[in-house]
């Protein structure tokens, strides 16, 4: 049984990943920004008796991360860290204001970096462990009107490559998971964050509509791939998960 940390576990890929690890017999510490809002995850835990602790975690807050890791230290080890928490918005690059851009970078890049910094002393002391960073196929494609999101994921990808080289001597593995556009709770978030631009009339909205039409396949495939990677020795360095 592995001890697994999963961030952004209240919905979408994070929720499915936490549940999949639990069903595989692993113990999960599921980080959610607001535990009172993790109703779907709580329901699955109760219905299936899954070994999951739901713990408050704001990846943009160092104090919150320290408390999260402190909870993890109460377990026998920290074996797998899944950096999944993320946010996004839809806007042309020229309309990507500093405030929303900073929020995306803070969550999608600095958030994983903070958790990596907090957990690495324990993984290094164990001389083993596995860090799984969820990026996106869009990090390389650079889809129109999702430039800031793609940039944040590209930064995490580059960080992960460097990190893997640094951690090899300590027996700690890094895996980059690159999902395509799957239907998850983030779809509605994309719709809610569309910022119309007078310079690109109707194009941002059209992009979101096209994205949602193209998104498909069973998002459980992503969660299953993450769990399989965690249980494979040695694990793969990079996993790309297209919708078809």
Residue 176, beta-bridge partner list? 133, 238
* Residue from 142, 128, 94, 133 nearest 113 by CA: 133
In the chain, alpha helices (H): 12-23, 39-48, 62-73, 98-105, 111-126, 138-141, 147-167, 186-192, 203-214, 220-230
CA 79/CA 66 separation, integer angstroms: 17
Question: How many residues comprise the chain?
Answer: 244
Let me know: does 194 contact 90? Beta carbons within 8 Å.
Answer: yes
Q: Which two tokens stand for residue 170?
A: 């300590």
Q: What is the DSSP string of 128-144?
A: -EEEEEE--THHHH--T
110 catalytic, yes or no?
no
> How many other CB atoms sit within 10 Å of the CB of residue 109?
20
Active-site entry in 110, 122, 149, 200: 149
Active site residues: 149
């Amino acid at each position: 049984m592995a001890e697994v940390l999963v961030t952004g576990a209240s919905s979408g890929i994070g929720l499915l990943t936490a549940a999949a690890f639990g069903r595989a017999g692993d113990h999960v510490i599921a980080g959610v920004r607001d535990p009172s809002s993790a109703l779907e995850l709580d329901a699955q835990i109760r219905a299936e008796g899954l070994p999951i602790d739901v713990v408050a975690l704001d990846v943009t807050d160092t104090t919150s991360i320290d408390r999260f890791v402190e909870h993890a230290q109460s377990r026998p080890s920290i074996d797998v860290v899944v950096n999944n928490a993320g946010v996004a918005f839809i806007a042309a690059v020229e309309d990507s204001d500093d405030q929303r851009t900073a929020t995306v970078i803070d969550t999608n890049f600095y958030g994983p970096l903070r958790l990596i910094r907090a957990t690495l002393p324990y993984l290094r002391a164990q001389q083993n462990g596995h860090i799984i960073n969820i990026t996106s196929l869009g990090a390389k494609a650079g889809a129109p009107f999702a430039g800031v999101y793609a940039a944040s994921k590209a930064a995490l990808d580059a960080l992960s490559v460097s990190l893997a080289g640094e951690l090899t001597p300590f027996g700690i593995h890094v895996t980059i998971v690159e999902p395509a556009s799957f239907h998850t709770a983030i779809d509605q978030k994309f719709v809610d964050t569309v910022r119309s631009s007078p310079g690109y009339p109707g194009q941002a909205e059209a992009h979101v509509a096209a994205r949602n039409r193209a998104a498909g396949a069973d998002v459980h495939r992503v969660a299953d791939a993450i769990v399989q990677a965690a249980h494979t020795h040695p694990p793969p360095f990079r996993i790309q998960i297209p919708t078809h």
